[in-house]
Structure formats: C-alpha cells, structure tokens
Structure 1
Amino acid sequence: MASSTQHVWTRFSNSHTTDIQTIGSSLWSRFWMKFAWLGYFGRFATRLAAWTAPPYRQRRRLARYHPKGYISHSASIYHNNVQLGTNIFIGDRVTIYQDDGTGSVEVGNRVRIHQDVCIETGAGGSIKIGTDTGIQPRCQFSAYKAPIRIGHGVMIAPNCAFYPYDHGIAPNEPIKNQPLQTKGGITIDDDAWLGYGVIVLDGVHIGKGAVIGAGAVVTKDVPDGAIAVGSPARVINMRGNLVKNNVE
C-alpha cells in the first residue's frame, strides 16, 4: 500500500493535479473518515481515507472530517487509560504506551501529534496535553515517578524529550539497578514554544509564553515570557523587552 500511495502522488504531481482531482480526493477522504477510528474496520477506513491525501502535515485536515479526529493506521495505542479529545491528529508510527498498567494519558481537543512521537506512562506518572498543542516528529514523553503537564497552544519542535525522573547514581552499584528518583513533575504552561531538540528534566516549570532555544537542557524553572537558551538553560531576555526595543 505504501509504494502504491507513493506512486499515486508522484503521478499526480507530475500531471499537475487539476481542481477536479483535488475535489475528488477531498470527497474520497471525507467519505472514508466517516467510518474511521479504532478497531479493524475503522483502521482500514482510515487507511483508505489517507490513501489520496498528501503525507505529513497535509493529512492534518483529515482530523476535521471525523468528530474524534484522525489516528493513523500505523499508530500504536497500547494503553487502557487514554482520554482523547475531539478532532485530534495522531500521525504515522506514534506510540502511546502504558508500562505495568499504570498512569493515564489525556489528549485535549485539536492536539496535533506528528510521526514517531513516543508517549509512555509508568508507576507514579501521567501525561496531560492541552488543547491546540502541536508536537512535531520524534519527541519523547516518559512519565515515570511524576506527571508531565503540557498546557494549551504549546508548540514543541522535533526531537524534544521530557523526563520527570532520573536514575540514582550511588557508588558501588550498577546504574541499571539504581532506583528511579524525581524532583517533581514537569509543567509547560500555555503558549510556550520549545525549539528543536530541547530536553526538559524533572521538577521543571516552564512559564506561560516562554521560549526555549534549540538544543537547550532545562534543569530549572523558566518564568513567564522568558527566553532561555543553553545547557543548562539560562534566561537571556524577556519577550516583553523585545517589544520595548522595537518601539524605541
């Protein structure tokens, strides 16, 4: 099916897709999304709906065609305590995993989770993602020992990682045998923006509207509206100052 889909889109692009073809593709997707969701037939319908839709970001429109949204047929949800909002988008090869049957995952309305994101919960952990938040490819959320809370309208770039725990490092004992420990959960407030490859560690609170630069390792709280960069991350400016400087 994958090679066939690739062939279809190569052919369409080479022939300069007409308006009629575009409308036909939209009608096809809308029809099959009526039957899409989990279960064998639902996943089959989802696959058919996506067959004529362009890949990656272009498939987000499919989430509007079903009240519950779009879950790629290649996504894996191995979790018995998941709450999914309306019109969500879950892309290819996303994994939602429950370790030891513990923890919960709550995904708000219109959340967009792109391909190869891994979301997992274990003992003491849970994950909540607020409405209209966007999570780009290959991010990792590992909620053990403490929760991860992501606010509304948060933008998370690719390859970000969230770990609200750490291994003990006591001497004379292999690291693999060390117990997990935590300084507390992770909270990302509304409208924050995390750049490419940001790592957020246990006990961290990133404030509303804060910006975290690419590659930063956040080990301490970041206040509302701050701009933080580096490893470990440190505040270098406030967004409010940028407005003042532009006015002057």
Structure 2
Amino acid sequence: MKKTHASVTGGSPLRTYQEVIVGRPGWLDLLYFEWCAWLAPVPGAVGLLLRKLFWPRLFAACGRGVVFGANVVLRQPGRIRLGERVVVSDGCILDGRSDERAESIVVGDDAMLSNDVMLSCKNGSIRLGEHVGVNARTIIQSTNDCPVDIGRDCIIGQSCLIIGGGSYDLDDPDALTRERPIRRDGGVTLEENVWLGGKVSVLGGVRVGRGSVVAAGAVVIRSVPANSVAMGVPAAVVRSRR
C-alpha cells in the first residue's frame, strides 16, 4: 500500500478520492457517499435520525441500533463492520483503508467510541470485542498486516495510543527516515477485561493478559501477564491481582 501522501497526490483527483476515501469505483457509490458525507455535520436529533436512516448502507455490515454522532469521518466504510447498538460519538474517524482486506475494522456489539476516537487501518486490521469502551481522543492504528485485537469488556482510557506496526526501518542512518520502509513489528492484543488508564501507549508486538490493569501514562513495550497491574515507562508489573 502506498504511503498516504503518495496515495492522495498525482493522477485524477476524482479517481483518487474514490479509491482512497470512498473505496468503491461506481458513480452511484460516489453519489451516495457524498450524500451521507453531507449529513455528517447535521446537528441535533435531526442529524442523528438522518444518519441512522442512511449511513448503514455504507458499511460492510451495520447492526441494529447503531448511533452516529456529528462530524464522524468515514474512509472506505465498505470495509468496516459494526455490531448492534454500537455508539460512534462526535468527531470519530473510522478509516478502513486497505488494498486487500474485505473487512479491516470490526466493532462488536454494544461497543462505545467516545468523542474524537480514531480507528485507522493501512493494510492492517482492528477488531474490538463486545462491550468495549474507548474513551475520548484515543488512537488505535494497525498497519502493514500487524493486527490490533481488543477483547470483550475492555476499557480504554482517554488519549491512549495503541499501535500495531508502523515503525520505520532504521538500518540505514544516512537515509531519510520518511523514505524508509515500514517494519512489521507485530500486532497488539488486549485480552478480555483489560483496563488501560489515560494516556497509555501500547506498541507493536505486545499482549496484555486477561484482567490486567495498566496505570495512566505507562508505555507498554513488553507483554503483560494476565491479572497483573503494570505501570511506568517502560511499563513493568508491580503486583498481581490474584
């Protein structure tokens, strides 16, 4: 997959828009996407109702009772599957871009995405289980076939950063970093019932075990066993919950 700048520059602007943003080539798909995009900023109950009526058709699947707040940004929604009673709050970004995957983002039933949450795929995959709560301004990103898998009943605090892949290859110190290839650092897995405090960063290749708690501000670069409490930079286990 091309890097973002290369994907959106050069060539026909309309064709680029359809490929990168809409994700489907047909004129009817483009017109319907534009109609739905026009509904994004409509405020209040009218906006909620119109988006509830028209937006589900954009997605690979969209369950009953899904709520879309105002100013939600969608990219390639045809690769996104939403379960039942999912809440997508104001200002969220759901970016399902992929060259290969039929479904790059899957959100389970009763999940809650608070204001300004970003789910971003660049040839990766993100899966949120049932009853997952993601608090405001959190970024979850999966790139280069490094998946992010968040188990059911997890709580993600405000302004967290969860990154599967995305590190540059730094083997050549004389080369421009932005021109280096992206490494496959490994994905991120949060098992069931994990709680991340605010501003936690979880980097590629990490698994946080079931029932664990990571304290606010921690940077997790190594896996955390189940039922543990971890904190610090880099995060270290300070005690067991058992």
What's the TM-score, normalizing by structure 2?
0.72
2:127·2:148 contact (CA, 8 Å) conserved in 1? Answer: yes
Secondary structure of the structure 2 residue equivalent to 1:167: coil
Q: Can you list the C-alpha shifts for 1:70-104, whole angstroms capped at 9, x where unaligned?
A: 01131112122000000010100100113354550
Secondary structure of the structure 2 residue equivalent to 1:74: coil
2:96·2:105 contact (CA, 8 Å) conserved in 1? Answer: no
Distance 1:76-1:164 versus aligned 2 partners, 3 A rule: same
Residues of 1 paired with 2:231 and 2:111: CA distance?
Answer: 26
Aligned ranges 1:110-125 → 2 under 5 Å: 110-123=110-123, 125=124
2:188·2:206 contact (CA, 8 Å) conserved in 1? Answer: yes
The aligned counterpart of 2:30 is: none
The aligned counterpart of 2:235 is: 233
1:137·1:158 contact (CA, 8 Å) conserved in 2? Answer: yes
- AA at the equivalent of 2:182: L
Aligned ranges 1:173-212 → 2 under 5 Å: 173-212=175-214
Instruction: Select the structure that is richer in helix.
Output: 1
- AA at the equivalent of 1:68: G
- AA at the equivalent of 1:117: V
Q: Can you list the C-alpha shifts for 1:177-221, whole angstroms capped at 9, x where unaligned?
A: 111112311000110000010001111000001000111110111
Compute the RMSD of aligned alpha carbons: 2.5
**Deviation for aligned residue 1:39:** 6.0
Unaligned runs of 5+ in 2: 1-33, 49-62
**Deviation for aligned residue 1:164:** 1.4
**Deviation for aligned residue 1:43:** 4.5
Distance 1:164-1:96 versus aligned 2 partners, 3 A rule: same
Unaligned runs of 5+ in 1: 1-37, 53-65, 241-248
Residues of 1 paired with 2:147 and 2:93: CA distance?
Answer: 18
The aligned counterpart of 1:161 is: 161
Residues of 2 paired with 1:114 and 1:135: CA distance?
Answer: 6
The aligned counterpart of 1:89 is: 87
The aligned counterpart of 1:126 is: 125
2:47·2:70 contact (CA, 8 Å) conserved in 1? Answer: no
**Deviation for aligned residue 1:49:** 2.0
Q: Can you list the C-alpha shifts for 1:11-57, whole angstroms capped at 9, x where unaligned?
A: xxxxxxxxxxxxxxxxxxxxxxxxxxx9649958x8442789xxxxx
Residues of 1 paired with 2:126 and 2:170: CA distance?
Answer: 26
2:80·2:96 contact (CA, 8 Å) conserved in 1? Answer: no
Distance 1:41-1:140 versus aligned 2 partners, 3 A rule: closer
1:122·1:143 contact (CA, 8 Å) conserved in 2? Answer: yes
Distance 1:50-1:197 versus aligned 2 partners, 3 A rule: farther
Distance 1:67-1:180 versus aligned 2 partners, 3 A rule: same
Secondary structure of the structure 1 residue equivalent to 2:186: coil
